[in-house]
């Protein structure tokens, strides 16, 4: 086996072994904290919160839009709805 072939195989093996770590690292960064000024608390915005947000959009007949791009009034409406639909109730 040539040196170049061994080197290429080693790189592919390293990438295969590291890919789960890289993927999980990216997923971990997908969450962030959001401040709710109405209730004066913080929420972790992650995939779980995204499910609730999509449910709110459907139940309130809104088009999908990134939460950060909604005006303060709509964000407040979401947090009010969210506090009434906590994880413990479902």
Tell me the per-residue pLDDT of 8-48, one tens digit each, with 9 for 90 and over: 666 655 656 665 655 545 555 589 999 999 999 999 999 99
Residue 42 and residue 83 in one domain:
yes
Residue 68 and residue 37 in one domain:
yes
CA distance 45 to 52: 10
- Taking the CB of residue 78, how many other CB atoms lie within 10 A of it? 20
Q: How many domains does the chain have?
A: 2
Average pLDDT, the chain: 81
CA distance 87 to 73: 23
Whether residue 6 has pLDDT greater than 80: no
What percentage of the chain exceeds 70 in pLDDT? 64
Range(s) of the domain holding residue 10 = 1-30
Residue 64 and residue 83 in one domain:
yes
Give the model's pLDDT for residue 17.
Answer: 64
From residue 87, how far is each of 7, 48, 76 by CA, in Å?
50, 10, 19
């Amino acid at each position: 086996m040539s040196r170049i072939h061994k080197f290429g195989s080693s790189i592919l093996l390293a990438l295969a072994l590291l890919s789960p770590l890289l993927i999980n690292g990216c997923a971990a960064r997908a969450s962030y904290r959001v401040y709710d000024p109405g209730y004066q608390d913080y929420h972790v915005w992650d995939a779980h919160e995204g499910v609730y947000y999509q449910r709110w959009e459907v139940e309130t007949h809104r088009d999908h839009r990134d939460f950060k791009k909604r005006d303060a009034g709509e964000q407040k409406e979401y947090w009010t709805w969210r506090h009434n639909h906590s994880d413990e109730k479902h």
